[in-house]
Structure 1
Amino acid sequence: MPLLTFGEAITDSEQFSKRHLLLGNGFSIACCADIFHYGSLYDQADFSSAPEVEAVFTALRTKDFEAVIRTLESAAHILPAYVADGGAAPAKMLEHAAMLKEILVQTIAGNHPHIPSDIPEDKFWACRRFLSHFLSGEKAGCVFTLNYDLLLYWTLMHDDLPFGDPIDLAKSDGFGNDEDKPDADYVVWQGETNAHSASVMFLHGALHLFDSGKDLLKYTWVRKGVPLIDQA
């Protein structure tokens, strides 16, 4: 079937009460292709701790990290059916899949723009206008992102001036004050019940989100005064 243009899709969505958006890696590539394209990340990644992983990329003829992670995890689950004694390979595959996730996050952080001003103001303005179809007005719904980087968070926090009238984007992501430490330099996930009204969901996590073991934390610039990349 022929694809709708973005304008046609927005017009077609007028029949529904809410608009929702799912962001994939293309969202980040559109801003900084030289950084966030999987090929760029692959070229910058350090596989020295697990050279077998690099061989998996070659065997699959891909530079897609998540495709390789899924393959390793799937292979680890099915290999015991073909290897009588189980062997050490399945455990090693799962270990390398976890390691590859860490390599991906480290590579993104290491090549990520350091502060929002590294990105041209007109890009933020264009992106906020794009997001306004989903996070502003009577049809405001939810934005779900699969990306680890800070671009969406930075865009939501950005000021529109001097490019035009301020756009009121919904930006609640389910985090709020820690009841035990309300003045902490971080905020905490409020739980599924308390965060039911959140409009932005980081489905795969993000560089500024951390599992402390007790709580899921979000670090912010405004509370600590330290760039988020440095905090990460």
Structure 2
Amino acid sequence: MPFVIRPWSELAQSYNGTILLGNGASIAVSSRFAYRSLLECVRQRESLAEDARRLFDFFETEDFELILRIVWQASNVNKFLQIEDARTHEAYVSVRDCLIQAVRDVHPEHHEVSGQLPCIYDFLKRFDTVISLNYDLIVYWVMTYGLDIPDRHKFKDCFLGRGVFAEDWQRLRAPYGGEQSSTLVFYPHGSLVLCRNRVEQEHKIHIRGAGLLESILDRWRSEEVVPLFVSEGTYKQKVNSIQNSFYLSTVYREVLTEPRESLVILGWGMGEHDVHLLKRMAGTGIQRVAVSVFKRNQAYCCRATQLIKDNLGQDVRIEFFDSESPGSWNNPLGNQ
């Protein structure tokens, strides 16, 4: 018997807690995000130096952030100890420049997606928690778009003042000032807007509006910071990277394990390399899960049902909705 796939409007009133966004959400905004991996993009360009390619093989990873951080730290140590080693710095520059070019190749500019931000804003503001697995700037641009909307709703990523993450992030759920409601946003795998400096301090890059992407790439070129995001890797590699970051490990330990009754999953393929996220949500009280389905894919419904029940419990109610239905993500309400 086929799975029933409903319009989002039939489920919306029952789901206002947590939403988890996967890469399919970004692909719906721009097809440029439909790439296999950043490293694959670079390999196609054949622009990565031999030393840099060997580093990926030696550490058995496709995670650009990890390799960039390793050679950046090694280069900084050599510089501080006045060790002449141009080869390490050249490897760092090669990895960094290839990462910058890969991001430029796959990431759209603000003006290319700005027309979709109002729909996404209206969709996301119904949730009290957004968990985005994507390191791109879509959700961040939605947040900055909301700064100009006089609806007394506030998106908060819990990075305060000088861009430092609030350890007591839970207090930010309470409205303050003229707010009537709020949504907290988290990035379990990091984001382009996040970085760390030479002494492993983590912060957010603050530039509002259309110039953010280029400002981020400029910060990378400065050699003062490296990006904080987990781009690729196996389940074990991702968990190791998460544990090496204060922000990522806080999201993993505290945010994912928060009590919640409902969960919406949109654009997430539920691959084995990300199943640790569902495992962390086990025991949080989830009673019902709504899952988006692209092109009414029944095989995906079957796989999603099995993974959710295996990790969240056999009694969890699972419902499916059409990812392209009116009001869902970037689809206008009037789109019939």
| TM-score of the alignment, normalized to the shorter chain, above 0.5 | yes
2:33 aligned to which of 29, 33, 36: 36
Residues 37 and 94 (structure 1), Cα distance of their counterparts in 2 relative to 1, 3 Å cut: same
Q: Structure 1 48/113 Cα, relative in aligned 2: closer, same or farther at 3 Å?
A: closer
Q: How far does residue 230 in structure 1 lie from its aligned partner after superposition?
A: 1.9
Tell me which of 92, 99, 108 is aligned to 2:103: 108
State the shift of 1:93 in Å: 5.1
Name which of 182, 192, 203 aligns with 2:188.
203
Report if aligned partners of 1:142, 1:200 keep a CA contact under 8 Å in 2: yes
Match of 1:156 in 2: 143
Aligned equivalent of 2:91: none
Structure 1 residues not aligned, in runs of 5+ = 55-88, 135-140, 179-186
Structure-to-structure mapping, 1:1-232, within 5 angstroms: 1-13=3-15, 18-33=16-31, 35-39=32-36, 44-46=41-43, 49=48, 92=57, 94-99=59-64, 106=100, 107-114=102-109, 116-121=110-115, 123-134=116-127, 141-158=128-145, 166-178=150-162, 187-191=163-167, 193-194=168-169, 197=172, 199-212=184-197, 213-222=199-208, 227-232=211-216
Gap change, CA 1:43 and 1:93, over 3 Å in 2:
closer
Q: 1:211 to 1:41 in 2, by over 3 A?
A: closer
Shift of 1:167: 4.1
- Number of aligned residues: 170
TM-score normalised to the size of structure 1?
0.58
The structure with the greater share of residues assigned to strand is: 2
Tell me the CA shift for residue 160 of structure 1.
8.8
The residue type paired with residue 111 of structure 2 is S
Cα deviation digits, residues 72-125 of structure 1 (max 9, x gap): xxxxxxxxxxxxxxxxx9x945344334866796423443223x233243x111
- CA distance 1:39–1:220, shift in 2 (3 Å): same
Q: How far has the Cα of 1:22 moved from its partner?
A: 0.5
Where structure 2 has 5 or more consecutive residues not aligned to the other structure, the ranges are 69-94, 174-183, 217-336
Percent identity among equivalent residues?
Answer: 24
Larger displacement relative to structure 2 (35-44 or 146-155): 35-44
Distance in 2 separating the partners of 1:152 and 1:214: 25
Describe the SS at the equivalent of 2:204.
strand
TM-aligned CA distance change 1:111 to 1:154, over 3 Å: same
User: Which has the bigger relative contact order, CA under 8 A and spacing at least 6?
Assistant: 2
Cα contact 1:105–1:148 (8 A) shared by 2: no
Distance in 2, matches of 1:217 and 1:160, equals 20
Q: Distance in 2 between matches of 1:39 and 1:28?
A: 13
Q: Distance in 2 between matches of 1:204 and 1:218?
A: 14
Deviations 1:136-171 (A, max 9, x none): xxxxx100000011111001111598xxx7444431
Deviation at 1:12, TM superposition (A): 3.3
Give the match's secondary structure for 1:221.
Answer: coil
Deviation at 1:42, TM superposition (A): 7.1
Q: CA RMSD in A?
A: 3.7
Conserved? CA contact 1:189–1:217, under 8 Å: yes
Contact 1:24 1:146 in 2 (8 A): yes
CA distance change for structure 1 residues 220 and 143 in 2, over 3 Å: closer, same or farther? same
Q: Using a 3 Å threshold, how does the CA distance of structure 1 residues 160 and 92 change in structure 2: closer, same or farther?
A: closer
Match of 1:184? none
